[in-house]
């Protein structure tokens, strides 16, 4: 999640609740205007749950009031994997499920550092098949996690897959 900078703030405290009007608990702090919510001891994340966040700006004089609540987008998926020559007519892409995600969008490119503008498909589970592929071409995949509030950014992690004969990565 991210928010606008507050003049004079030296750090920010981030709070989370499972409902907009729920009890917000401190889950961490940040020195910048971004925070990546990950499950931790005492603060688990559950698949399919929408979480709400509030932030307060802090400095040597103390901390501000909590911000208005905002629903969080799920974080980008991790653990991206694509098959290499396992199927004669498709590549299967999978990833680790993201708490709070209700669907995923998969994008590809033929270059590892490409633009990933080619939409492969959307899935409710943590895998999708790309049947619009040609043999001998290596395709790179990145994934977004989505919920009713929107989608995460593309995953930083990516993996490549191919249909035989597979070129060297």
Question: 101: which 2 tokens?
Answer: 């995600």
Annotate 27-58 with b (16+ C-beta within 10 A) or e (fewer). beebeeeebebeeeeeeebeeeebbbbbbbbb
H helices within the chain, ranges in order? none
Cβ–Cβ under 8 Å, residues 130 and 102: no
- The rounded percent of the chain whose pLDDT value lies above 90 is 73
pLDDT score, position 169: 65
10-42 pLDDT, tens digit each? 999 999 998 899 999 999 999 999 888 877 788
pLDDT score, position 4: 92
- Mean confidence (pLDDT) of the chain: 91
Cβ–Cβ under 8 Å, residues 93 and 141: yes
Q: What is the mean pLDDT of residues 114-122?
A: 97
Question: 132: which 2 tokens?
Answer: 């619009």
Checking if the pLDDT of 7 tops 90, the result is yes
36-95 pLDDT, tens digit each? 887 778 878 776 677 899 999 999 999 999 999 998 777 789 999 999 999 999 999 999
pLDDT score, position 48: 60
Q: Which domains does the chain have, with CATH numbers?
A: 11-71 (no CATH), 81-161 (2.60.40.10)
């Amino acid at each position: 999640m991210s928010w606008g900078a507050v003049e004079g703030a030296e750090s920010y405290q981030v709070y989370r609740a499972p409902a907009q009007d729920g009890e917000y608990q401190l889950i961490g702090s940040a020195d910048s205007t971004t925070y990546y919510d990950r499950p931790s001891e005492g603060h688990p994340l559950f698949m399919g749950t929408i979480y709400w966040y509030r932030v307060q700006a802090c400095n040597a004089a103390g901390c501000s009031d909590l911000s208005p609540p905002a629903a969080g987008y799920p974080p980008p998926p991790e653990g991206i994997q694509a098959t290499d020559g396992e199927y004669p007519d498709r590549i299967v892409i999978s990833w680790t499920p993201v708490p709070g995600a209700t669907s995923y969008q998969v994008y590809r490119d033929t270059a590892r550092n490409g633009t990933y503008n080619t939409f492969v498909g959307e899935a409710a589970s943590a895998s999708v098949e790309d049947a619009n592929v040609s043999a001998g071409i290596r395709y790179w995949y990145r994934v977004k996690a989505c919920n009713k509030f929107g989608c995460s950014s593309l995953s930083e992690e990516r993996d490549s897959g191919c249909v035989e004969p597979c070129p060297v990565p």
